Structure formats: C-alpha cells, structure tokens
Structure 1
Amino acid sequence: MTDLLPAAVLWDMDGTLVDTEPYWFESQVALVGSFGGTWTKADGDTLIGSGLWHSSRVLQQHGVDMSEDDIIDHLTTAVLERCAVHIPWRPGAKELLAELRAAGVPTALVTMSIRRMALFMVDAIEFDAFDAVVAGDDVEHAKPHPEAYLRGAELLGVDVADCVAVEDSVPGLASAVAAGAVALGVEHHAPLADDAGYVRRTTLVGTTLADLRELHAAGRRLREQRTTDS
C-alpha cells in the first residue's frame, strides 16, 4: 500500500494551516482608514488567496498612498504582531502534518505570504514540519498561476502529479489543479465548489494520511482513465 502514498503533500498557509485571514482583514481596514478610506468585508473577501502585489494594487485603488512593497511590508508586520500574541492554527492541520512527518512523507509550504512570515509560522511549529518553503516573493507569478506549486514539487524532487495539495481558497486551488496536483479544498472563509477539479471538505479535523493516500490513488486512477480514453 505504501506505493499509493503521495510523493509529497504541499500546503497552503493562510486560511489552511493558520487562520490569519481575520488578521489580514483587520490590518487592511486600519491601513485604508489611515488614508481616509473605507474597507469592507466584501472588499477583503475578494483578496482571499490572492498574491500580495495584486492586493497592494487594490489597496492603492482604495486610497492607500504607499508603494506596493511598502504596503506588503506594513501589512505583514501588522499580521505578525498579532501572531506574536496568538497564532490561530486551523483545527486538524498540525495533527495531519505530524502524521505525515512520522510516515516520512515530504512536505512543502506553498504560500503567497512573503518569506519572513512563512518562516515565522514554520519556526512556531513544535516539530520539523516542512522540507521546503515557497513564498510569494520567491515566484514571479502569484496563485492562481501554477508556478508556486510547480516550484514546491521541484524543490522536493518529485512529480507534482504525484502530490496532494491542501488549500482553502479558489485561487489557491486553481493554482494546484493547474500545476497538476491532486487538490484537497478545505472550505473556510471562502465558499468552494463541488465540481471544480478538487475534493472539498469543511475541516481537516479527522483527516488522516489514509485519507490523503486514497485521494492520491483516486487522482491517479482518474489520470490513467483519461489517458486510456484519449
């Protein structure tokens, strides 16, 4: 059965590993407000899963008179200040990570947050959770482009088609699917679909390596069937 294990599991961070989306939103509200503007929950929801440079341009359109890089640095610092007080881990995430590590399954963190934030989260985990990190400032194209997930598989030395990606956002899942990974969507802040090329769950609580093994096997069977049909 070990031959059915995923070659690796690739993890999104914000909203999947840690519930930082409220921190990002609060920081956006404060920043836009400091320039006399208004930022609504609907505005924030449009940015879930997006690259930070895209988000910065949207914030500029709402009146934030700062460069894109300065906006990213400001927001990242604000979110990290909140995380220094309390890191809101997503239920079931660290438990599944620990099981993967115990089984020797390689893992990579694939996030659109910048590297200093990604490494803060990695260092906060009480065990050696990830073999590689791909951050938003490591890639040219943000999610939903497949570059980040392709890069994650490359760093691990595995075929992305033999990987399972764990995500919570529509752009992130589109990135994973476009890269060729088997994708597990864990619905949280943003609604997900049941027919968009990924498997949808509402929580990682109770999700085990056996579940990912079956998901990977089902994805492989589907690819084989498509090859036969073509």
Structure 2
Amino acid sequence: MSDLPKAALFDMDGTLLDSEKLWDIAMGDLAVDLGIEMTHELRESTLGNSMNDALTKVFAAASVPVDDRDYPGRGAWLRDRVSTLFTAGIPWMSGAREALDMIAAQGIPLALVTNTERVLTEQALDTIGRDRFAATVCGDEVPVGKPAPDPYLRAAHLLGVDAADCLAFEDSPTGTQAATAAGCAAIVVPSAAPVPAGPRRTIRRSLLGLTLAEVAAAFNGTMGHREDLR
C-alpha cells in the first residue's frame, strides 16, 4: 500500500506489554512507603510519565518538602521493584504482537519509543524481542520525556524519516500528546486512562484484528474516533 506510513513507532508499557499492572503494584508500594495511599486519580496522573515526573507527583501528594525529595534513592527503589516484578514475566497486550508482525511484513521499520528507562526497557525487550526494532528510544536518553515530543522526534531521526511520515501506537494521554506534538499520526488504545480525541488520532479498544487498511486510514486521518472497534 502506497499510503502506509514510512515508519511505525510503538510505546511499550500498556501498548505492547500489559506491564502497567506491574507498575501499579510498584507505585502503590512507593506511596505506602511515603505514608499515603495510591489513589486512582494519582496513579492515572502518572501514567506514561518519565521517572522524575512520576516521582514529583507522588512526592507532592505525600507533601514531601522539595528539599527532602530523594529522586535518586526513590528512583532506584522503584526501578528495583519493577525489575523484580518484570522477572516474573510480562504478558503481551491483546493483538500487539500480531500488529508488530503485520506492519514489519510490509518492510516498514519499527521503533520502540518509551518513557521507561533503558535498564528496565532492556529487561522488557527479552519478552518483546530486540530484533523487531530498527531503533529504541528510552526516557533517560532524551532531554525531555513524554509528553514532550523529544522521544518521538529522536526515533524518527534515528530511522531517517520525518515524524509526520510516522504512525505512533500509544495508550496514555501523556504518550499520545508526545506523539501528536512531534507530528505523528497515532493509533491509541487507552489502557488505564481516557485519551481525548484529536486530529490524526484513531481511538481503538484493542489492537486485536487491526488490518493494513486500518493502519493506512489512521495514518492518513480518514478513520477517526472508532470506539466500535475491538
């Protein structure tokens, strides 16, 4: 198909892997350790965030004074907790593996674009498969993580294409904002928080049953808001 994107850029947590549930456990444990409960609203606000942005929101909810916020220490604690949870295995999101295979079969290069730090991403790639991607971009490898466009712009640059010629796959408001700010069209499967409709955003309930015709329609902005899909 000539109207397919030149590259496909995939988020990881909640898009390819059902790992947000594991982050839920770790973030809940962090909140308890700081003396608060991880409410639905607080957890939703941290979805897709960089490590520092997520920690900032939890610190603020726990009323930790700015000068007492131990970003390196708490970041290491959270990283170790998630790593332990990852070790037990990370399930795929429904239809995600098939979507990767279908797009790759067209000769379209794939990139992984995540706010997760490199050390945890490498662990998750044991499940996804490193050889699927021509490039991987992690949250600790760009000046500013999602919702800034930096991760998506870097991925497009590494693939040698313009971001406007790419189709992103996302699950969170934060990640979707980053993708569209970079100029990408996006297929969005909200995992735990609603994502507002917008230009060049196609909302699906799942990646299950995704077709090449739908990929082309999403890239060209002719599909729109499709909550009727799986």
Aligned to 1:201: 204
Per-residue deviation, 1:196: 5.5
Instruction: Report the TM-score when normalising by structure 2.
Output: 0.87
Given the alignment of the two structures, is residue 76 of structure 1 paired with residue 75 of structure 2, yes or no? no
Given the alignment of the two structures, is residue 26 of structure 1 paired with residue 13 of structure 2, yes or no? no
Residues 102 and 196 from structure 1, CA distance in 2 versus in 1: closer, same or farther, beyond 3 angstroms? closer
CA offsets, 1:46-91, max 9 Å, x none?
1112221111122223267662133222222212211211212110
Unaligned runs of 5+ in 2: 223-230
Trace 1:5-154 onto structure 2 (pairs within 5 A).
5-61=4-60, 62=62, 67-126=70-129, 128-154=131-157
Give the distance between the partners of 1:172 and 1:146, measured in 2 at CA: 9
Aligned to 1:156: 159
Residues 34 and 217 from structure 1, CA distance in 2 versus in 1: closer, same or farther, beyond 3 angstroms? closer
Number of matched pairs:
218
Give the distance between the partners of 1:66 and 1:81, measured in 2 at CA: 24
Aligned-pair Cα RMSD in Å: 1.9
Aligned to 2:178: 175
Residues 68 and 105 from structure 1, CA distance in 2 versus in 1: closer, same or farther, beyond 3 angstroms? same
Q: SS in structure 2 opposite 1:183?
A: strand
Per-residue deviation, 1:34: 2.2
CA offsets, 1:101-134, max 9 Å, x none?
2222101111101011112222323572111111
Q: Percent identity?
A: 37
Q: SS in structure 1 opposite 2:167?
A: strand
CA offsets, 1:162-194, max 9 Å, x none?
100000111111111111111111122111223
The worse-fitting range, judged by mean Cα deviation, of 49-58 and 60-69 is 60-69
The worse-fitting range, judged by mean Cα deviation, of 118-127 and 145-154 is 118-127
Give the distance between the partners of 1:96 and 1:25, measured in 2 at CA: 25
